[in-house]
Amino acid sequence: MATEKDATSTKPPPKSSVHVDGAVRRLKEGSFPTIWKKPRKTQIEETLSKRARRMYNGKHYKQLHGTAMGSPVSVVIAEIVMQNIEERALSTCRQTIPLWLRYVDDTFTAVRHDEIDAFHNHLNEQNTDIQFTREVEENGKLPFLDCLVSHNDNSLRTTVYRKPTHTDRLLDESSYNPTSHKATTIRTLTRRAQLVCDSTDSLSDENKYLHRVFTKNNYNNDFIRRNTHRPTTTTETNDTATPTTTATIPYIKGMSENISRILLPFNIRVAHKPITTLRQLLTNVKDKDEPRNRQGTIYKINCSDCQASYIGETGRNLTTRLTEHRRATRKGDVSNHIAEHHRLTNHNIDWDSAQCLTYSTDYFQRLTLESWFTNLEQTPLNRCQQLPAPYKRLIHDINITNDRKRTT
């Protein structure tokens, strides 16, 4: 029998039933990766008490159950909950369970046919908010993850499993993606066949099927052969080797490949990222915040009486930061560049024209963007970090172009 947590039940049990003390024990034992180096009970309780907030149709909503979807902490909490449920269920069930395998919320279990209903009900009794669906073997076969497990003569055999809705659609050879992504598509599926198929016959059948699929997605035989017969390499740890740095850049055909070759001798591996994805084009499920209410912004504030301007960055929103700048100006705070400019010149600050230049939730990206926009200004009030030489050349060319536009 295979079970899976019902996709409709998204909320873990309330704080009192998660057994916080047991969670702390597991985290300290290091039974799974965690972001907490020295977990304490108060840390877990604080995490469970935090609720995500969302905006929909202009209204703000607070999540009442569970942890925030997409949060790295949620992964840890979910594993804690699943371990508690399976420990409690297996230690108290009346049935004999000779086999119990779990991957996240999918389980593969051996249960007597006449005890399936009783054990399934026992699992769902552990917590009313977390319910499991089940699937039993048919004709001696049961899918689990991407494996099709066959039960015959007291032995288990495995081959690759595909859902009935599978369409054989892969990354097409004509798609605007780097060749490395296309090669990885072929190598990954070939490697999966080698790992999952446990017999020569099933592996041969899977390889023939994959060749038809690759051809259907417009890959030529030479490209398929080179990537299906490419030997699998293992990376050996070498303490004296220079660590490799990864740089993620938007993919531009022709240019990105050249950048990869240039950076390779410097132990910089380039990861190509598509500029536009189908997800960006087809999904728009979140309400957009007003520009001044977006978190993580690089902003500009002008002086009303001269060409001076202030470029700043904040991980919060511009509305909050403007309130702080106004307060500092009223108090004559010498540590605030805007307030100091107002104090020395008695100039008025044009608060109403303050604008968001761009956005980023990454602190180091904001620092770089702040420096970029600061160097584009003729009379900046703020200080910023130094930009690398290539950026300075770009800024020099842009400033020359802007000067020409102003004089014409």
According to DSSP, the residues that pair with 160 across neighbouring strands are 147
CB atoms inside a 10 Å sphere around CB 74: 16
Question: Buried b / exposed e across 102-112, counting CB within 10 Å, b at 16+?
Answer: eeebebbbebe
Instruction: Determine the Cα–Cα distance for residues 73 and 139; give it in Å rounded to an integer.
Output: 41
Alpha-helical (H) ranges within 13-115 are 20-29, 41-49, 72-92
Q: What is the 8-class DSSP label of residue 373? A: H
What is the Cα 135 distance to its own chain's centre? 30
**Each residue's pLDDT tens digit in the chain (408 positions)?**
666 766 444 455 444 444 445 555 665 565 554 444 444 555 555 555 556 677 777 777 777 777 777 777 777 778 888 888 888 999 999 888 889 999 988 999 988 989 999 999 999 998 888 889 999 988 889 999 999 999 877 788 999 999 999 999 999 999 999 999 999 999 999 999 999 999 999 999 999 999 999 999 999 999 999 998 865 555 455 555 566 889 899 998 888 889 999 998 889 999 998 888 777 777 766 667 788 888 899 999 999 999 999 999 999 999 999 999 999 999 999 999 999 999 999 999 999 999 999 999 899 999 999 999 998 888 999 988 888 777 777 887 777 777 777 666
Q: What is the pTM of this model?
A: 0.67
**Amino acid at the residue 394:** L
- Do the bridges between strand 309-314 and strand 297-303 make them parallel or antiparallel, or are there none, so unpaired? antiparallel
| Domains of the chain by residue range | 19-28+48-142, 179-227, 245-277, 295-407
Residue 359, CA distances (Å) to 215, 285, 370 in order: 43, 19, 10
In total, the chain counts a number of residues equal to 408
Which tokens in the block code for residue 371?
Answer: 């420096």
Rounded CA separation 328/355 (Å):
19
Query: What is the CA angle 277-280-282, rounded to 5?
Result: 105
What was the pLDDT predicted at 239? 52
The candidate with the shortest Cα–Cα distance to 136, out of 111, 104, 99, is 111
CA–CA separation, 161 vs 164, rounded Å? 10
Burial class of 201 by CB neighbour count within 10 A (0 to 12, 13 to 18, 19+): exposed
The structure tokens listed for 318 are: 């511009």
Q: How is residue 325 written in tokens?
A: 């700048």
Degrees to nearest 5, angle at CA 198 with 195 and 199: 130
Distance, CA of 134 to CA of 5 (rounded, Å): 9
Q: How high is the pLDDT of residue 386?
A: 84
Q: Which of 149, 221, 234 is nearest to 186 (CA)?
A: 221
Please, are residues 266 and 246 in contact by the beta-carbon 8 Å criterion?
A: no
Q: Are the beta carbons of 315 and 362 closer than 8 angstroms?
A: no
The residue written with tokens 């995500």 in the block is 52
Q: Secondary structure of the chain: what % helix, strand, coil (to 5)?
A: 40, 20, 40
**Token representation of residue 78:** 């979910």
For 372, half-sphere exposure in the C-beta direction (CA atoms, 13 angstrom radius) is 14
Number of other CB atoms surrounding residue 219 within 10 Å: 21
Rounded to whole angstroms, the Cα distance separating 342 from 98 reads 77
Say if residues 216 and 172 touch (Cβ distance below 8 Å). Answer: no
Find tokens 């939730």 and name the residue: 361
Q: Which residues pair with 313 in a beta bridge?
A: 298
Q: Which two tokens stand for residue 81?
A: 């909950």
Range list of H helices, 93-199: 116-124, 179-196
Please say whether the beta carbons of 104 and 82 come within 8 A.
yes
